[in-house]
Structure 1
Amino acid sequence: MPDHKDLPLTGPEVGSLWMTYQKMTMLLQMMKHFAQTSETPGYHQFLAGQVGEIQSFAEEIRNIFTGDGIIIPVGFTDQDVDLDAPALYNDVFGVSWFRIMTKVMMGMSVLHLGEATRDDVISYYERNLTYAKKMYIASTKLLMENSAFAPGPVVTPPQEVEFVQSKSYMSGTSLFQKTRPINTVEVLYLHQGIEINQVGAELMTGFAQAAREPDVQQYFARGKNLAYSCIDTFAAILKESDIQPAMSPWGRTTRSTRAPFSDKLMMYCTNLLSGFSLGSNAIGTSFSMRTDLPMKMTLIAAQIYDFAKDGGKLMVKYKWMEEPFQAEDRAALLKT
């Protein structure tokens, strides 16, 4: 393979690095606040330790772009965080939120690694993926050690292998036949939906409490209600099969109304998690073998999509949405 200095970045590589830069700079500013305001020794050490790591990932993208003569995106800067603001969330929530973000990082790193061809970009996403996996394990362990995390619901251990004998296995809610209990694959994605939306609901609570613009504040309140609706739907399906949903003490929003983050940053974070929730929902739908579950999850996905779309409109209204780098407009160049 030729040395990367002899190869230009491809369009997919530029796009993936641009997306990663937005995410990493947002993550950096939020982690600065969590580290600044954390008081519990174990949590503080963990949160503060991530700031330098995340900063180095953002800096590496800047170096790659500079080396290829590409302008540096704006992303999120020190102007998007108020380090003098009191804690908006407690320590448990800061670690819980970061744990969810490591899931986002793992998924995106695999996706971007699959499109990378230049050795420095491949190396970047390999390190990014390794870091995300390591921090997912570390954050999960930290929360469990402090009784701040509940693993997924437990089911009776299977004793034999079975094969589907009837088409009724794939039937959902019906007036004429009993619905089968959900299987463990379906439990997996329902539990993940509850987990994501628990963190999302608390995140939206704090964002709504601190947002500066009234319509943005209303948008976050709508997001909180949507997250609770998703939790109720997924939990009800589990309870129908006598499975008690695992609800973790994810941490709480404080009484502070002083925004530690800019409305722009909070809107981007919400948009990012909405996209992750849509992707998770789609995967869960594709692996479900009971016809009523995809229907319910599709209805939820439609609500999340509308929510994300309206968020995009708000970001455009306030000029907060940074454009990804564009391909050349050849028609306009010809006219010139």
Structure 2
Amino acid sequence: MNEHNIHLTSSEIGSLWTIYMNETMSECMLRFMLQHIQDEDIEPIVRYAYDISSNHVKQLTAIFESEHFAIPKGFGDEDVNMEAPWLFTDSFCLTYVNQMSKVGMVTYSSFVSMSYKRSIRDFVSNALNDVLSLFNESMDVSLAKGLNARHPYIEVPHHSSFIHHNNYFSGLNPFSDKRPLNAIEISHLYLNVMTNSLGENLCLAFAQTSPMQEVQDFMLKAKKMSQKHIKIFSETLQDNDIQTPQVPDVSISNSTTPTFSDKLMMFHLTLIISTGTGNYVMAGAVSQRIDLVLNYERLSFEVGQLAKRAANLMVKYHWLEQSPGTPNREQLAKGKDKS
């Protein structure tokens, strides 16, 4: 079937725009990492990640041109200082690629379901396969190097059982015992500790290399929020005699040289924030202890407030590129009347 005359839908336009923004940002981050990596096992993984992002950007550019779709500004050479000194440890780079590949899998899988044109579905499906392959390869290396904490082991069930009392869902009464966490609840608590750990380190790296006081303050506030959330999730696990994640050594250097543009750093943090919000919503939806659900709702609100502050800061300095949308019909009508 000839698709040439089939117009892009709003979901396809939004998906392609979002992918381009994310992938051009990733290109900048990964290109800088490649400049300093020494580990012979980690360097190929980061290079593979860079090649994936670079290839996606090229494919997107071709799609935009064929669809007469204005190419977004995104991020480029002006957003990364390749002369800046070493900032991230090799282990951080590997952990970063592994965690961001998870973000990519969630993002691309949702975009597949929102695409209609076969050419767009093929592109997004292939991109999903790319990040899935990257996740598997980065996970293999991470496990081999002891840089990826496994989720806790629990006893395998030997028979099925059913819930017989509503107390199973309780957890707010301080004078009554809370039931033990189930496997689904443990997995999400553990996941959110690990993702917040990555965010904490990114915030620290961005805070110490940004030349702007407002960006520094924002990053440090975000870092403290990540630490607070890690503490809450870890204590919940400890209260249930579950081992907390042993976060690997993924430290950053003491460099204070501006490395990435403030525009890129703020955009990256908004991506981390939106991913974290999605994680919390999912965790709250599948948790069956009411205290966990309320915790996720409360923490999601805190993250939402942080996202609002980030958006305000980006608008103030003209860093927030506007996503494609429909024209304001009322303004068009008023403009026509004046003419």
Distance between the aligned counterparts of 1:333 and 1:229, measured in 2? 47
RMSD: 1.2
The answer for the alignment partner of 2:106 in structure 1 is 107
Alignment check: 8 A CA contact 1:208 1:221 kept: yes
Cα deviation code 1:214-264 (max 9, x no counterpart): 010010011111111111000111111100112221511101111221111
The answer for the alignment partner of 1:314 in structure 2 is 313
User: What secondary structure does 1:6 align onto?
Assistant: coil
Distance between the aligned counterparts of 1:250 and 1:97, measured in 2? 12
1:170 aligns with 2:166: no
1:274 aligns with 2:255: no
Q: Give unmatched runs, 5+ long, in structure 2.
A: none
Distance between the aligned counterparts of 1:292 and 1:333, measured in 2? 50
Identity of matched residues, % = 26
Shifted more, 18-27 versus 4-13: the winner is 4-13
Alignment check: 8 A CA contact 1:106 1:132 kept: yes
Alignment check: 8 A CA contact 1:199 1:250 kept: no
The answer for the alignment partner of 2:55 in structure 1 is 56
Shifted more, 253-262 versus 49-58: the winner is 49-58
TM-score in terms of structure 2 length: 0.96
TM-score in terms of structure 1 length: 0.97
Cα deviation code 1:272-324 (max 9, x no counterpart): 01000000100100111111111111111111111111011110111000001
The answer for the alignment partner of 1:146 in structure 2 is 145
The answer for the alignment partner of 2:9 in structure 1 is 10
- The alpha carbon displacement at 1:266 in A equals 0.6
Shifted more, 308-317 versus 171-180: the winner is 171-180
Distance between the aligned counterparts of 1:286 and 1:134, measured in 2? 28
Alignment check: 8 A CA contact 2:203 2:223 kept: yes
1:231 aligns with 2:230: yes
Aligned length: 335
Alignment check: 8 A CA contact 2:20 2:57 kept: yes
Alignment check: 8 A CA contact 2:48 2:134 kept: no
1:256 aligns with 2:255: yes
The answer for the alignment partner of 1:29 in structure 2 is 28
Letter in 1 for 2:215: V
The answer for the alignment partner of 1:137 in structure 2 is 136
Q: Give unmatched runs, 5+ long, in structure 1.
A: none
The answer for the alignment partner of 1:298 in structure 2 is 297
Alignment check: 8 A CA contact 2:49 2:97 kept: no
User: What secondary structure does 1:139 align onto?
Assistant: helix
User: What secondary structure does 2:41 align onto?
Assistant: helix
The answer for the alignment partner of 1:89 in structure 2 is 88
- The alpha carbon displacement at 1:119 in A equals 1.1
Letter in 1 for 2:285: S
